[in-house]
Amino acid sequence: MPTPRTYNTQGIVIKDMQLGDADRIVTVYTPDRGKLRAVVKGARRTQSRKGGQLQPLTEVRISIVIGSSLDNITEVETVNSNRGLREDLGLLSQAIYVAELVDGFTADGAVNPREYELLASILAALQVVEDTEQLMRYCEVQLLTMSGFGPEFGQCVECGANLDPQDHLLSCIAGGLVGPECKVSTGDPLIHLSMNSIKVLRFFQDVGLAEAQSLPLTEEIKSEVKRVLAAYLAYVLDREPRSAGFVTQVAAMGKTDSGGPLGSTST
């Protein structure tokens, strides 16, 4: 009898799905094999240890047996449970959103170790930074850039001319800013972007996480950058990320609970 082909790898669980009554299919994002999907037999039984270890957002070392249609995860070792993310609904919603973006931006088997590092560092940072909103914007910009969808903010997408530091219009379909003398042929509604927001977006494309996090931003810029990125992401993914609404709902609940100035205005 031929020996089954097996391999070991390490990765972060970004998604899971039920499979029949007892099993689950988990999607794991790995630095060396990209995104992979595999079955966890018996994972939905309450006493399943493997099932407990393979919760979304956990970092695991796994042994996989290659199957004829689907591969099977046979052994699991927890590397980092990222438990802090599960203890706070606000953090959990944002972490799930990040996992969904990574899933949406990656094709099966496309290997991108830098994107894996980004995912791991964002999940770690979520549990320690104060401004998780700013972290989410940085994550969105970086994921777009790493997956080849990063908008062009330095040159006009129509004529290639360098853009002056001023407000500009963004075309999602054309993939970047359009200079004041140019018209885009794509016909999509252009989004106005202030000079300061353009500077922030370019900065987020170029720097590491710590630098991005230390940039002071006004509420006005934060909200403009958030709105523009949401529109751009929805275009690239061809839909609004499913968990984006969850993030907004949880954030609104937090504001109501805190009894702060925003709490009194909520309906």
Q: Which residues bind Zn ion (CB under 5 A)?
A: 156, 158-159, 161, 179, 182
| Smaller CB separation from Zn ion, 181 or 238 | 181
Cβ 76 to Zn ion, closest distance in Å? Answer: 53
CA 249-267-228 angle, to 5 degrees, is: 45
Cβ 239 to Zn ion, closest distance in Å? Answer: 30
Task: Report in angstroms the alpha-carbon separations of 159 from 89, 179, 182, 232.
Answer: 46, 8, 7, 21
**Interatomic CA distance for residues 265 and 261, integer angstroms:** 7
| Smaller CB separation from Zn ion, 62 or 177 | 177
Sequence-separated (6 or more) residues with CB below 8 Å from residue 219: none
Cβ 184 to Zn ion, closest distance in Å? Answer: 9
| Smaller CB separation from Zn ion, 162 or 264 | 162
245-267: string of b/e by CB count within 10 Å (b at 16+)? ebbeebbeebbeeeeeeeeeeee
| Smaller CB separation from Zn ion, 140 or 158 | 158
Cβ 183 to Zn ion, closest distance in Å? Answer: 9
Phi, then psi, of 248 in degrees rounded to 5: -65, -45
Cβ 35 to Zn ion, closest distance in Å? Answer: 37
| Smaller CB separation from Zn ion, 55 or 155 | 155
**Interatomic CA distance for residues 136 and 133, integer angstroms:** 5
| Smaller CB separation from Zn ion, 155 or 205 | 155
Cβ 102 to Zn ion, closest distance in Å? Answer: 33
Dihedral, 75, 79, 82, 84 alpha carbons, nearest 10: 120
Sequence-separated (6 or more) residues with CB below 8 Å from residue 36: 9, 11, 27, 28, 30, 64, 71, 108, 109
Nearest residue to Zn ion on Cβ basis: 156
Task: Report in angstroms the alpha-carbon separations of 152 from 60, 158, 173, 198, 205.
Answer: 36, 11, 12, 10, 10
